[in-house]
Amino acid sequence: MRASTIRVLALVIVLGACSSGGFGGSSGDTLGGVGNIPGNGFSDGGLATDLVNTIEYPEVDGPVLAEKIQGNRIIIIGDSILAGTASRYGGAMCSKLVPMGWRVAVEAETGQSINFGRKVLKARIYDGWDAAVIFLGSNVGGRISDFRTDLIAIVKSLAPRPTLLVTTSAFRDIQDEVNAEIRSVAADNKSVTLLNWEEISTTNGVLNKDRIHPTNAGRAVLVEAISRAIGTPETKGGKCLDSQFVDDSLEPGVIAPTTTLMTTETTTTLMTTEPTVTDVASTTTVAPTTTVASTTTVASTTTLTKTP
């Protein structure tokens, strides 16, 4: 008689990727999900008038930008949060600012960190800007000290042009440090005005569940808040200017696959009849008992950190 028992453990594969809901606490984290911007069917800037008109906007810390300039050319630099207001995603920013008289260029790409601001200004600093808006910091991209260094360099390169710095939403602990640096740099530079998006973004309906990206209504609120902070220029003739930085292919975030393979554990028992020996045929049947137990566990964890 033969009996066979096979015991099988499940094969488990766990793949983890950083998304807008999965963040580490280190200052080097790059935020996955900053790149979830509206699709091609996104409508223009006339959104969510109820929330836009009923929300309480805090006073900016510093002068309204238009009060300090005679021209009307403004460059607006950011990551996917601002990219969602660009012409390729509905044009909410231009829809609001151009009728006010601003000539606007939105330079914003998905997944970008603070050094993107330096990259943009290296290419466009001499294009005749009268003012600027900088909204970077949701992707830290490195150490907090490096963030501060890059932000100071951006502000200094723009000075004496008035510049609006925007704080981030407080979606994770490290943003407290980011916002503290933004406020510190604003306080140390007379050319800077501060917009408290951190406070505005706490209003119900402004942010998606990730607590980072605006809803459609929140996007309209962001545009309105910026428009109030920069004011109406004396010079008229507004225009939506072409953007040079429109590459949204950057794959932001930390891609950290964790793969655990647990193979089958097999136990096989073979049982035969007892040995029988006869004097006539000298026939011998040998019934050994064999146990084969094989267990293999392969655990592989690989972390690939991609910093923009």
Contacts of 183 (CB under 8 A, 6+ apart): 61, 167, 194
Give 49-240's CATH code, choosing from 3.65.10.10, 3.40.50.2300, 3.30.465.10, 3.40.50.1110. 3.40.50.1110
CA dist., res. 1 & res. 271, Å (int): 6
Instruction: Output 18 or 186, whichever has higher pLDDT.
Output: 186
Residues β-bridged to residue 61:
194
Domain with CATH 3.40.50.1110 in the chain: 49-240
Contacts of 115 (CB under 8 A, 6+ apart): 141, 150, 308
| pLDDT digits 0-9 by tens, 70-81 | 999 999 999 999
For residue 161, what are its two tokens?
């042009």
CA dist., res. 164 & res. 119, Å (int): 18
Burial class (CB in 10 A: 0-12, 13-18, 19+), 64: middle
pLDDT (0 to 100) of residue 37: 55
Contacts of 114 (CB under 8 A, 6+ apart): 136, 137, 139, 140, 141, 146, 147, 150, 151, 154
| pLDDT digits 0-9 by tens, 205-246 | 999 999 999 999 999 999 999 999 999 999 999 999 999 999
Tell me: pLDDT of 169 over 90: yes
| pLDDT digits 0-9 by tens, 83-114 | 999 999 999 999 999 999 999 999 999 999 99
Give the pLDDT mean for 131-149. 96
Instruction: Say if CB 223 and CB 251 are below 8 A apart.
Output: no
| pLDDT digits 0-9 by tens, 262-285 | 333 333 333 444 444 434 333 334
Instruction: Say if CB 78 and CB 134 are below 8 A apart.
Output: yes
Is the backbone of residue 145 left (phi > 0), alpha (psi -120 to 50) or beta? alpha
